[in-house]
Amino acid sequence: MSYLRLLAAFFRVSLRGELAYRVNFFVQLFQSALDLGMSLGGLAVVFSFTDTLGGWRPDEVLALVGVYFLVGGIIGLMIQPGMEEFIESVRDGTLDFTLTKPEDAQLLVTIRRVDIWKLIDILMGVIVLGAALARLGGSIGLGEAAVFILMLVAGGFIIYSFWLILATLSFWFVRVENILVIFQSMYEAGRWPISLYPGWLRYGLTFVVPVAFAVTLPAEALTSRLSGWTLLGAVALAAVLLVISRGFWRLGLRRYSGASA
């Protein structure tokens, strides 16, 4: 419970900090809208030549784009800013201050930075998703919604563990921020159904960089493509990865000697 209170406190701090730069809101709104426009424009061009894309109907791909923005927003809001700052703090030694605090250090580096403007992406994703679902017809039952949320949470934890493992590498290799660029490039591929891609790329986007778990599988849950086994597997993988990334974090921490001291 105290974790949630901490999270709320960090949220308030960054909200206050950002409200000093109100124009940023409009800049971010403009950029997010542009990004969404790009996605929708691409879809419009492709679907002017076909009715289905690898078995996905236009409104189903629209739902996928909604999930893509929603999850991208969550990563940008909660995961990415903290991890970037953490990598930076290993390099310049300010991680010392985090380690001396009484709360768990992994938790602190995870939640201490939030980029509140990414809420715009989340909101846009939800709106697109809602519009897509409305157009698909009210076939979404309570069960599917629950599976979707569960899949979203599992995917979120998988992505989080993945980022934590990459960021933890900075204890050994000081310059790892470029590795995160790989994630950004690969995440772009999630705008389209992963089932389109040839096997090697599909495996890469599932197990090397887990874009599939974060974007495709939640969208599949909503369009009734997901089997119970996949869901179970995703939840199990999320749990395993959380444990592994925690172990890796502690291993890395033992190597940390503090650059500033």
Partner 1 sequence: MKGLAELYIQQFRTTLAMMLQYRASLLIWMIGHVLEPLVYLIVWSVVAGTGGGSVGDYAKRDFAAYFIVLMLVNHVTYTWIMYEFEYRIRHGSLSFALLRPVHPIHSDIADNVSSKVITLPFMVAVAGVLALVFRPALSPEPWAIGLFVPALLLAFLVRFLLEWTLAQAAFWTTRVSAINQTYFVLLLFLSGQIAPITLMPHPVRVLAQILPFRAMVGFPVELLLGRLTLSEALTGLGIQAAWVIIGLVLLRVAWRAGVRVYTAVGA
188 binds partner 1 (CB under 8 A): yes
160 binds partner 1 (CB under 8 A): no
38 binds partner 1 (CB under 8 A): yes
130 binds partner 1 (CB under 8 A): no
Find the shortest distance in angstroms from Cβ 102 to partner 1: 37
Q: What is the CA radius of gyration of the chain?
A: 19
197 binds partner 1 (CB under 8 A): yes
- CA–CA separation, 235 and 229 (whole Å): 10
Task: Give the total of residues touching partner 1 (CB under 8 A).
Answer: 33
Q: How distant, in Å, are the alpha carbons of 17, 68, 243 from that of 157?
A: 27, 16, 11
Q: Are 209 and 186 in contact (CB under 8 A)?
A: yes
SS3 40: helix
30 binds partner 1 (CB under 8 A): yes
Q: Given the complex with partner 1, which of 193 and 218 has the nearer CB atom? A: 193
Find the shortest distance in angstroms from Cβ 182 to partner 1: 6
Instruction: Choose, by CB under 8 A, the member of 198, 227, 228, 229 that binds partner 1.
Output: 198
- The two tokens of residue 122 are 């989340």
- Tell me the sheet residues that pair with 56: 53
Q: At what angle do helices 177-188 and 80-92 cross, to 10 degrees?
A: 160
Q: Which residues bind partner 1 (CB under 8 A)?
A: 23, 27, 30-31, 34-35, 37-38, 41-42, 45-46, 48-50, 52-54, 178-179, 181-182, 184-186, 188-189, 191-192, 196-198, 201
